[in-house]
Structure 1
Amino acid sequence: MSPEEPQLAEAIAAVIREHGPRRVPLETVLAAAATVDRTAAVSVGWRRRVLSAITSLVGDGVITAPRTRFDRSADPPLPAYVTRCEVRPWRGETREAIIWHADLEWVAIGDEFGEWSASERAFLALVNAWLPLRRRMIVPLRERSLDITGDDKELESRLFGPLFSPGRLTLDLLRCEPCWPPVERRVFGEGPCLVIENYTTYVSLARRAERLGFTGQIVWGGGNQVRTRLRALAAGGERPVACWYFGDIDAGGFRVARSAWECAAELGFEDLRPARGLYRLALGQGERRRTRTPPRMSETTVEWVRSWLGAELGASCLIIARSGKRVVQENVGAELLATTTLEDWFDGE
């Protein structure tokens, strides 16, 4: 560990070891660091201390950091996420022996050197057991996922990951085909993508975007279905040149926004940024209404909101979300949008 920030590095490493997915978002890293010194998170030089701890963990081989994806909301920029380095077993370490199918020769080679994580190996073992039983019929992706793994969404979650990179698993090998719900969107050009959580606001924004000469596309995120919408775009070979998001200002809305942000990162999209201007319009015009259920926001989500929206806007939104109130995005309706320009939507970008 770096002698400069050993406590921060140790706290971050401990959380990373217990984190489910190998990719750990920056807000989780920041929350882990804050457990060491909660007052330091608002002090000058805090991000530099965190960067020092991250750098030491990279040097020790605990994590890797992306080369191009950074949170630049403050100085210095920090990696948008880090990836846990899986602990590889020593060659010859006892491991349950598997006779791999001929179509999985690449798995056998990697298995010899402990290349696969426990999760990846367990998944590949299920594929291996299924392959001798496969039939000729091509079925939808989720049906095949249920057939192989018992989880209808397992294949979908891995489709854009390393196990489906060239020369590895394919949909043809698994006798299945993509089956994505249609993506409701308005395409005006090849420019940026604006994802809208709710349908009514999507309609109003799309109509105004057309009048303003917007050159990108407006996409209906579908609330909790936003991951499926983004994966459907990726399956069609789309990688937006820039991506923004606008949703409700409440605990649920930010959980959906965070889910969309994580999915965009997994798919290799450009960072999913907040349409800060639209959020400010909602704050300025929207009535604060009490939610039907108490707010549930984890500390990692709270930290993510601060980082994603920026300190000032994030603080204003969190006051509402954490108090059990909400501002729905429908407050930014057709009449208000008629007074805006595109610059008003993406204020602060």
Structure 2
Amino acid sequence: MIVRPSEIAAFREAILDAKAVKIEFDVLWELWNRAAPRFTGDPGQAAALKDALVELSDSLVIELPKQAWDKSTVPALPRHILVPASRRAGNERTWMTFPWCRRLGWVSSLSTLQPGLFDDLVALNEWFGRVEPATLPIVPVRYRSAEIFAREKRLDQLERTKLFGPDRLSLEMLGCRRLAPPAPAAAVGPGPDALIVENSDTYWVAVEELRKSSGHDIGAVVWGSGRTFPVQVPSLAVDVAGQGPVRGVAWYWGDYDPVGTATAVAAAGSAADVEVRSAAGLWKAMVGLAVQEAGTFDWTNAAGQEWLGRDLWDHLSYVRSAGGRIAQELVPVDAVSAWAAGPAA
């Protein structure tokens, strides 16, 4: 016998009326018997139930399990089903009826809420009840996160959700601010400028060379830590090697490969209070050096031409054509002090 649309509709209503997220097979079988009593005792009863379940699954009313199936029957039947609408209804009742404080009143109007966020909101609600945000001292984000949630990185995660935004949560409301990661640096002289290098060995070479030299404008060498440097740039306007903010130019030099040039461009673009410029003389020192790892780098749409300058970009075209790179470590050690002693750029 073919299952009638009216029987599937009745089965659907019975499942939703159960208001359970998970319905075990015994209960499911009983609901099916009530919805389609004409199948009771019929040899095709199990097959009809399977057809009805598949149709309800296709229409997203229920979720069938991936592995929990009873294969002792013909056809195999699920040991349980899940009802997404019941899951949502339970969550909605929870956050829509909770007594939120004034600053979190907007939560009750949310149509959906990701699992786990309710507990975070309750923690925030309790914190707002204990403090007066207008008089709070401003602290770094992870200090406030540890105070509220006992998890120092939780605010980092929540800031990427819909809980943050206009007329919702903000770091300002929570009395905290995000600080740029510090950039490792060493003082090498009294000058106003800084030299930023991408790699750690080059950092130590530059520190040693510039400390031995005099008459240059480099006051500190900064390790750019590879591709992470763009997020560290704001720290240059706070303090570098205990000398305070960079007073002059932050000169950048990295590997000549797609990541190295992209990092340089991103760093320059993220600088607001510090001028990040190309240490052109050090990049020029790469011209003519042997190509490394040819055929392994894709330079298509690579960034850096305008930032490095078209002439230098053209001089290094043989590296791009070979699909290779040139690392900082190929440049002679004394090139750093020679660059620092020469004209700026």
TM-score normalised to structure 2 length: 0.48
Question: TM-score w.r.t. structure 1 length?
Answer: 0.48
Larger Rg: 2
